[in-house]
Amino acid sequence: MIKAADSLPPRLLVVDDEIAHMRALCDTLKAQGFDVVGCEHGEAALAALRQAPFDLLLTDLMMPGMSGIALLRRALEIDATLVVVIMTGEGTIGSAVEAMQSGALDYVLKPFKLSAMLPVISRALAVRRLRAHNAELERRVREHTAELEATNRELDAFTRSASHDLRSPLNIVLGFSALLSEELAPQLSDKHRTWLSFIDRAAHQMQELVEALMRLSRVGRKTLNVQAVDVGPLVWEVVADLRREQPKRDVTVQIGELPRVMADAPLLRQLLVNLLSNAFKYTRQSERASVEIGVEARGDELVFFVRDNGVGFDMGRAERLFDAFQRLHREDEFEGHGVGLSIVQRVVQRHGGRIWVDAAVGRGACFFFTLGPGARLPAPPTAVPAKQRLG
């Protein structure tokens, strides 16, 4: 006897226009512990399927009115997780194969023995359980995705509202602070001017934090436009911008041979801007500042890296390095709001990649990142000059 996987016996629907054969098969399967319903034709079977779920449909192939193939197609429209086994004679094996191509799981030949029928039913019920389990997982994923989308919409709306609501009072503070400085300057003592400068600086810092929060939010909302991107020229553009912004810096930049990848170009550029800007910032105190950008092939994966010989940091404090507004250095040492690496991590994650870091105090830092399994292109890498000095 075949037992059900749970407390209820499996429900079988047997369809055969030969009434005596159908009843005999129903009685035999009931004796094996199954819950069996028999029908003489396809329309009755479809009506039974609409009334209650079944685990297995066992149908004759050749029937007047509605054939077994037509029945299985309509039955799967009612319940996509239903498993169907066809009963057929020796002369219609070709039609049984056609039935399997239409969605039947297996077929049995008439006349059949119970010892041959039971293994087929057992396999079919195992497939039914797997289909039902997968359907439940898919339902949960859809529900979870819908919940996440709703949460993201609410978070985006909150971020936009909060940034607008914060900007207005900040503009007022900055405006009146400027008016006080201009109109009362001759009457203000040094102490009062210092107070006003504190107000002005704090308001500007808050304004910059709001802008940083909006940048972080936009990265999460942006729709990915994945296309072939040549990383080499993109890196050189970022380096050229840093050169214009910091003309007095003397930084040795080494750029290896960088490949073409599948990525969102604007987001990838933002990632490179943040990592390279950090590298330049934290090498400011180095006697011979050096930054290196390259890529390594590790199996089928491309691992990019940005390495510097700056101040570095203690890896014991790096647990929340990629969290928003987290800083490992004092503000009076290095400027910033602790958002850049959060943006980098979001860009990498949206591409299906990973990011990690290796660093030591006084010995610089090296950030590694990948862009997911689909990023690598078969085209050869684009060669770029091996070294450039900024300054």
pLDDT in tens, 314-340: 777 667 777 765 655 555 454 555 677
Q: Looking at residues 59-68, what average pLDDT do you find?
A: 89
CA distances from 248 to 126, 272, 364 (A): 72, 21, 21
Q: Using 50, 70 and 90 to split pLDDT, how confident is the model at 350?
A: confident
Instruction: Evaluate if pTM is beyond 0.75.
Output: no
The H or E element that residue 322 is part of is none
Q: What pLDDT was estimated at residue 246?
A: 83
pLDDT in tens, 175-193: 888 888 888 877 878 888 8
CATH fold for domain 11-112: Rossmann fold (3.40.50)
Q: Which residue has the tokens 């107000």?
A: 199
DSSP state of 382: B
Domains 11-112 and 226-390 share a fold: no
Q: Which residues sit opposite 12 in a β-bridge?
A: 36, 56
pLDDT in tens, 195-240: 888 888 777 777 766 766 666 666 666 677 888 999 999 999 998 8
Q: Using 50, 70 and 90 to split pLDDT, how confident is the model at 98?
A: confident
Whole-number Å distance between alpha carbons of 10 and 36: 8
Q: Looking at residues 57-85, what average pLDDT do you find?
A: 90
If you write DSSP's letter for every residue of 318-333 in order, what string do you get? GGGTTSTT--SS-TTT
Q: Does position 4 have pLDDT exceeding 60, yes or no?
A: no
Q: Looking at residues 114-129, what average pLDDT do you find?
A: 89
Query: What are the boundaries of each domain within the chain?
Result: 11-112, 147-221, 226-390
CATH fold for domain 226-390: Heat Shock Protein 90 (3.30.565)
Q: What pLDDT was estimated at residue 216?
A: 65
Q: Looking at residues 269-291, what average pLDDT do you find?
A: 87
Q: What pLDDT was estimated at residue 283?
A: 87
Nearest one of 387, 376, 388 to 295, comparing CA atoms: 376
